[in-house]
Structure 1
Amino acid sequence: MSSQTVQTALSAATPGCPECGGTLDSSGRETHCEDCGLVTDQDQIDRKPEWRTYDKEEQQRTGAPRTATRHDRGLSTNIGSVDSVDISPRRRRRLARQRWLHGRTKFDSKRDRNLAHGLGEIRRITSALSETRSVKEQASTLFREAQNEALLVGRSIEGGAAAAVYAACRCNGLVRMDTVATVARCSDSHIWNCYRTFLVELELPIPVPLPVEWGARICSDLPFDIAPDIRQRALELAEQETESAEINGRPDGIAAGALYLAGRESDTRLTQATISETVDLHTKTIRLWFQHIEKHMAE
C-alpha cells in the first residue's frame, strides 16, 4: 500500500492531523495540517461549484460563456465518441444510437435546423477568410435577425450565410464580393440578392468606402512594389478627389485613376491593364476617371 493511500485512510479515520492532532485544511487541491504542515491528501478532485466572484453572498454557479455562433447559444451538450474506450460491442451500439437520437432532438423544428446549418456555414466561411471572432459573431447575429424577419424564405441558406459574412466584413473594413464568393457554396448573384435584401430591410449601417482606402489597397495588391513617392502622390490625389464635390463615383475607379496619374507624373511604366487586373475594373473605367482627375487638376 502506498504512502498516499495510507495518508488518505488516516485522514478519513481521524478528524485531525495523524501526526500532531492539529486541524486539517482542505480548501485547496490538497489536505494539509495547519500546525505541522503534513500533507494527508493531494491531487483531489474539486467537486465544488465554479464561482465567478469573491463575495460569498453573490456567488453563483457559472458555465461556458454564451455565444451567438451557435443556434442554442452554446448551451447544448454532445455525446462524445467511444472508439478509444474498451467496451463491449452491445454497449458501443447503444451509445451510437443514443448519440444519433441526441443529435436529432437538439432541434425543435425545421427552423432551428436551418439556423444551425446557416451558422455552421458562417463559421466555415469566416475561418476560410481568417476573420476575427467579432466578425463571426456579428455575421451570426445578422443571420439570426434575417431569419426572424423572414428574409430567408425562398432563398438559399448558403447565400444568406455568405451575405451575412459579407455585410459583417463591410461593416469592419474593405472586402470584395469575389473574395467571399470564392469560399462560398453559391454564386455571387445569390449573395448579391441576399445582401441587397439585408441592406434594405435590416437598415444596415454599411460605411461608404473612400478612394483613399481603395488607393492603399490597390498599391498593396499590385504584383510589383510601388515607389514610396508614387504611393504617396496617389494617396494625395485620391484624398483631394474625396474632398472635392465635382468628382463623385465609384471609389475604386477614382483610386485607380489617381494611381495611374501618379505613375505618369513620375514617368513610371504603370499601365492601365496592370491596374485593371489588380482592381478588377475595365481599362475604359480607369481611363475615364483618369481623364476626369486630370481635367479637375488642370482647372
Structure 2
Amino acid sequence: MATRNIYKTAVDEDVQPTNTCPECDGRVTTNTHETVCDDCGLILSDQAIDPGPEWRSFPEDQSNPERTGAPLTPSLHDQGLSTTIDKHHDGKGRSLSPQKQRQLRRLRREQGRAQCSTTRERNQMRGFYEIRRIVSALGLGRSIRDQTCALFTTAQNEDLLHGRSLEAIAAGCVYAISRCNSLPRSVAEIARFAKCNEDSVRNAFAVLNTELGLPTPPPTPRQFIPQLASALCLSPEVRHRAVEFTEQARKQGIDNGCNPAGVAAACLELASNDAGEHVLQCELAAKADVSTATLRNHRDALAEKLVETQ
C-alpha cells in the first residue's frame, strides 16, 4: 500500500523571478512593490505580496503594535485559535471585581461548550490530551508530539477510531511516530505510561501501519545502545564497543527475529565485562524490559560467534 502524506506542505509564495531582463539582458531588481529592469526600465511584475507586517515598532513606544498571537500548533484540536479567558485579571493585569469574575466564569463555561460541540471534537481533544501526556512522560520533543497529533487526526479522518479505544490509538500513534523517526521506544515502555496494556498498543499500531502504510523501519539493537548506556552510566568506551558487537551480531544473523533491546543489552554486558565495568544482569535486563534468561541466551550466542570468528 502506498504511503499517504499525513503532513501538509507549505507553498512558498516568495518565489523570486529571474535576475535577467528578457528584453535587454540587464540586471533585475525586486522590491516590495514591483520587479523592474535597472537598464531599460521594463516592469516585469508589480503588486507583489509583502509577507512582512504592516506596522512598525520603535523602542521608545509604550504600546506594542504586534498582534499576531501565538503560532498555530497541531497538538490542540482547534490549533490554539480559541480565546483564553482569565479568572482574576483583565487584559492590562488589573484585578477584577467579584461580579466580573462571576460573569467571566459563565463565559468560560459557554466557551468550553462551544469549543467541543460535536463528538468528533471531543474525541480529538481527549486523544490529543493523552498524546501530550505520554510524550511528556517519555521525554520526547515537540516535533514528535506534533507529528503524533497529525497522525491521530489522519486516523480519525480515515474512520479508524470506531470500535477502538482512544487511549490505545493515541499510544499506538506515539509508538508509530517513534518507529518512523528511529527512536528506541519499546511497546512496554509506552504501555507503562498509557492507559492501556501492551496488547492494545500493538493492535492499534498494527491497524495504523496496515491502513495508513506508515514508513516504519524495523528497530535495530544499535538504536537501543545509547539509551541503555546512559541509564546505566557506562563509559563511552563501553558504548563504542557495544556498537561494534551489534554490527557483528547483524552480520552473523544473531539478531534475526530477536528482541532488539535484548540483543543490545547482551552486547552491553559483553562490552562492560571486557572493559572491567561489570553490570548486574537483573539491572541491565530491567532497563531493557527483558528477562534475565533472554539476556543470557543472547549473550551466550553472541559470545560463541565472537569466539568462532577470532
Note the C-alpha offset of 1:139.
Answer: 0.6
CA RMSD after TM alignment:
3.1
Match of 1:233 in 2: 241
TM-score normalised by the chain length of structure 2: 0.68
Distance 1:100 1:164, change over 3 A: same
Whether the 8 Å CA contact 1:152–1:160 is kept in 2: the answer is: yes
Contact 1:216/1:235 (8 A) holds in 2: no
Corresponding residue SS for 2:193: coil
Per the alignment, in what secondary structure is the counterpart of residue 65 of structure 1? coil
1:164 counterpart (173, 180, 184): 173
Q: Which runs of 5+ in 2 are unaligned?
A: 1-54
Q: Is the 8 A contact 2:265 2:295 kept in 1?
A: yes
Distance change >3 Å, CA 231–CA 136, structure 1 → 2: closer
**How far 1:155 sits from its partner (Å)?**
1.9
| Structure with the greater alpha carbon radius of gyration | 1
**Offset, 1:247:** 5.0
1:289 to 1:43, Cα distance in 2 relative to 1, 3 A: closer
Q: Which of the residues 111, 116, 120 maps onto 1:107?
A: 116
Q: How does 1:142-291 map to 2 (within 5 A)?
A: 142-172=151-181, 173-222=183-232, 225-226=233-234, 229-245=237-253, 247-250=255-258, 251-263=260-272, 269-270=278-279, 272-291=281-300
Letter in 1 for 2:220: L
- Contact 2:225 2:242 (8 Å CA) reproduced: yes
Q: Higher relative contact order at CA 8 Å, sep ≥6: structure 1 or structure 2?
A: 2
Count of residue pairs the alignment pairs up: 248
Equivalents in 1 of 2:56, 2:265: separation in Å? 67
* Structure 1 residues without counterparts, runs of 5 or longer: 1-25, 31-41, 51-61
Q: Are the structure 2 counterparts of residues 284 and 110 from structure 1 closer, same or farther at C-alpha, using a change threshold of 3 Å?
A: same
Task: Check conservation: 1:212, 1:242, Cα contact below 8 A.
Answer: no
Structure-2 residue corresponding to 1:11: none
- 1:69 aligned onto 2:79: no
TM-aligned CA deviation for residue 249 of structure 1: 2.7
TM-score relative to the length of structure 1: 0.70
1:204 counterpart SS class: coil
Cα 1:88–1:116 shift into 2, 3 Å: same
Alpha-carbon distance in structure 2 between the residues aligned to 1:63 and 1:204:
34
Task: Provide the rounded CA distance (Å) in 2 between the counterparts of 1:265 and 1:27.
Answer: 65
Contact 1:29 1:46 in 2 (8 A): no
Residues 139 and 267 of structure 1, relative CA distance in 2, 3 Å threshold: closer
Q: CA deviation at 1:29?
A: 5.5
Q: Deviations over 1:56-99 (max 9, x none)?
A: xxxxxx5543221111222222333246734363x543332222
- In structure 2, the residue matched to 1:294 is 303
Partner of 2:49: none
